[in-house]
Amino acid sequence: MQMNMGEGKTSVIVPMLALSLSSSTSNLVRIIVLKSLLIMNYQSLRAKLGGVLNRRIFPFACRRDMNFNASQIDQIFQRLQQGLSRRDLILTAPEYILSFDLLTIDKCRRKEFQISRSMLTVQQWLKRFARDVLDESDEILHVKYQLIYTIGSQRPVDAGVQRWKTIQSILELVKKSAEDVARNYSKDISYEKSSRSSHFPSFRLLSHQPFPSLAERIANDWLSEQSYRQEDRQLILSFILETNTSIECLNNRFSQDILQRILILRGLLSSEVLFVALTKRYRVNYGVNPNPKFNRRMAVPFRAKDVAAENTEFGHPDIAIVLTQLFYYYDSLTNEQMLQCFQRLSDGEKHPEEIYHEWISYDDDDHLDPSIKTWEGINLKDDQQRTVHLFPTFRKNMLVINYFLNHFVFPQEAKQFPQKLISSAWDLSSDRRAKITTGFSGTNDTQLLLPIHIGQWDLPKLVKTDAVVLNNLLRRENEFYRSLPISVTIKEILEQIVNDRQRVQVILDVGALFVNGSNRQIAIQWLEKSKTAQIDYAVYFKSDSLYVCDRQNQHHPFATSPASERLERCVFYLDEVHTRGTDFKFPSGFRAVVTLGNGLTKDRFVQACMRMRKLGKGHSLSFCSSHEVDQRIRMLKKKSRGQEQIVLTDVLRWVYENTQQATWDGLHHWAAQSLSFQRKIVAFQNIQWTNEQQQFTELIMNQLPSDCVEPEVLELHQMYGKPKSMQKIAEIHRSRCHHSNIQLSSEINTAVLNRLDFYGGSKTLLAHSLDEEQERELEREVEQEMEEERQQERPTPPAPHEPILHEDIK
């Protein structure tokens, strides 16, 4: 159900609904919220439903690494039953519910039948009594959220060392061609030349238009470095740039090593893995998870600026490797990582002077200190030389970064698993339970991507919600737009905001334009630039907790600071992830700057704007776009033959265009999730959820995981060796259904195909030919797999030895 933002969904309606539903001992109410809003919702619900009403809020969490034993499962079950009788409320996040489902199957796979039986009993009970209420339901049920348990023994990626070394050589060729391609396609590429020849330039594709030219340059440059016959060169060039040929045409001409390199190249170019990677924003769409508990140094998906998707890894190996390379090229190596490289160079290489000479020759000689020009002059014990000359010189050197990744990252982490268990929004909202699921959201733009068994049921009085929001947005006081130059700094953006004729108190960074700095740093800089007569505090989010900085540079939790009572003396910076679901009672007269970043969709845009609860009644907005977004807005404006000046309707046109594209991009993945869901329906057909007397036998539990697991594509010839053709989404799904080895539900499959036929249109995607055993749509699948949350089976940590006091000491 859609309800306007700021009208009390989270603070009033959800608590009232939960209270009403839990009044009966036949309902165990589960309030499901986004994980980033879990703490805030817990505090809000406890304040409203505790105290006089005496309703307990019971948080529930489940992850694979928790590895419950039978006793713990029994305790959870007892607490859930107790919660039902006491009318308690469960507060949880969608990934925790999905994880409990997958953990049940995983326990069966590991033949831990006692625990499996207990977990199945809990699941059976929950399907009878659980009554789910979803807050921000469109985001919770979004097609991009997918939980994966990896299964089986970890193994190196196919082609191993050659895989990442080939990718490194291709990125070197990207660097070589970057400036020329950027000059020819200035409106379609974001490019900034590097300060030194050994550094990788800032290079990002803003559209698909430059990629064929870039791919052709790379292919020709790569072939010119090889010693193939002219006839073979033409054959290889055709294979790596075109999609309609098979690897079989090269099988008898080249060795296995050469074929693997050619396949890697084809994946990067004609299958457009490189294109997908080069469109992603560093620190916004990808980066290295700084959380020490995650303990991985390869790039992972980011949910928002500097917000790593927890426990998440890239599903596609080449995407993971390319983005890991790009992250370190842009970010540089730390002192610790630099020391690792030089210690290995000193102690583990037979000819360190040759490798060092290669590194030093790759750099500009003008920048080098004489003491580090030769390997013999290096003294790793000299702290002055290390920190002042050596490390700063090589920190962003591409060859040194390659050396670090080749020895300390990829051999340990570039691994794959043969099988996987998948869970998605289809499982979260399954209709195979006794109680219905209710959800609320301020936007309904993703309703086409909701599971078939979930419907959008808006009250007649609320059908006008979208129109009300747009009417408030299109008011005259919001008609202020500016674009930023390429490579603008945080300092420059803040100076523009502070110097505005109209005072700005809130930054809604939904476009993630404040990339080169933490929330804390941005808040401090903004406070320093603000007038002391008007502003005393800057408010920002640290993780999911709200903090405030004062003029003495002291940082405190917002709730207990004087700033919470003096909002008119505050400026607020809300980063991308917190422009949804957060609630502030900003005083009348407050104005916010809304940032516009690449691919911003209507639901995210509107959610950000509506943080200003009195929009149209005392609050106002201005808009600030990146250079690339400004170019796209102007391109769409030219098509509509509008005036030269950008107005708010032009911004909205661009937002709607992004929304339409995002919906279409999600349809094929939505259809693929329907197949995984149907696989589980078949797997669980022997379990009677309504029969409390059913015995979960070992035969049932043995069969369950084998029916649920899905294979991963691991080998290069499977990924890139087959011919590919352009097909409609509906055609791709029909082929998947035809080649699937599961019994499909005619009701679900018919509904899915009808939606694909109706909304898929005439657009096509690159897909394998139909003779392949399991069809995989490549280009977009690569992009979607980056959103998967993968919980790997890690080795059990060793038990610490029990300390013993020696007899002589007693």
Q: Residues 228-247: pLDDT tens digits?
A: 999 999 999 999 999 988 99
Q: How far is CA 195 from CA 184, 285, 364, 392, in A?
A: 21, 24, 10, 13
801 pLDDT band, cuts 50/70/90, is low
Mean of pLDDT over the chain: 90
DSSP 619: B
Evaluated on CA atoms 775, 778, 784, 786, the torsion sign reads positive
Looking at the chain, the whole-number percentage of residues with pLDDT higher than 90 is 69
Q: Please give the domain boundaries of the chain with CATH numbers for all domains.
A: 9-154+420-462 (3.40.50), 161-332+396-416 (no CATH), 333-395 (no CATH), 480-646 (3.40.50)
Please give the distance of CA 43 from its chain centroid, rounded to a whole number.
Answer: 27
Six-digit token string for 34: 């986004």
- Of 25-34, 315-324, 456-465, 668-677, least confident by mean pLDDT is 456-465
Indicate the residue type of 384: Q
pTM of the model: 0.86
Is residue 643 over pLDDT 90?
Answer: no
442-470 as b/e: b if 16+ CB within 10 A: bbbbbbbbbbbebeeeeeeeeeebbeebe
Model pLDDT for residues 475-533, shown as the tens digit of each residue: 999 999 999 988 789 999 999 999 998 999 999 999 999 988 899 999 999 999 999 99
Model pLDDT for residues 564-601, shown as the tens digit of each residue: 999 999 999 999 989 988 889 999 999 999 999 999 99
Is residue 310 over pLDDT 80?
Answer: no
The mean per-residue pLDDT over the stretch 618-627 comes to: 95
Separation of alpha carbons 40 and 53, rounded Å: 20
End-to-end alpha-carbon separation of the chain, Å?
70
What's the pLDDT score for residue 794? 54
The continuous run of DSSP H or E covering 620 comes out as strand 620-625
Residues β-bridged to residue 764: 728
Evaluated on CA atoms 94, 95, 99, 100, the torsion sign reads negative
Separation of alpha carbons 257 and 262, rounded Å: 9
Strands (E), 463-607: 481-483, 506-508, 537-542, 545-550, 555-557, 570-574, 591-596
Indicate the residue type of 634: R
Separation of alpha carbons 137 and 463, rounded Å: 17
What's the pLDDT score for residue 784? 36
What's the pLDDT score for residue 431? 85
Q: 3-state SS of 368-409?
A: CCHHHCCHHHCCCCCHHHHHHHHHHHHCCCHHHHHHHHHHHH
What's the pLDDT score for residue 798? 61
Separation of alpha carbons 430 and 94, rounded Å: 13
Is residue 808 over pLDDT 90?
Answer: no
Model pLDDT for residues 188-233, shown as the tens digit of each residue: 898 999 989 999 999 999 889 999 999 999 999 999 999 899 999 9
Contact 155, 146 (CB under 8 A): no
Please give the distance of CA 121 from its chain centroid, rounded to a whole number.
Answer: 34
Evaluated on CA atoms 513, 517, 518, 522, the torsion sign reads negative
What's the pLDDT score for residue 306? 86
Which of the listed ranges 73-82, 281-290, 483-492 does the model predict with the highest average pLDDT?
73-82
Model pLDDT for residues 104-152, shown as the tens digit of each residue: 999 999 999 999 999 999 999 999 999 999 998 988 998 887 888 989 8
Evaluated on CA atoms 280, 283, 288, 289, the torsion sign reads negative
23-43 as b/e: b if 16+ CB within 10 A: eeeebbbbbbbbbbbbebbee
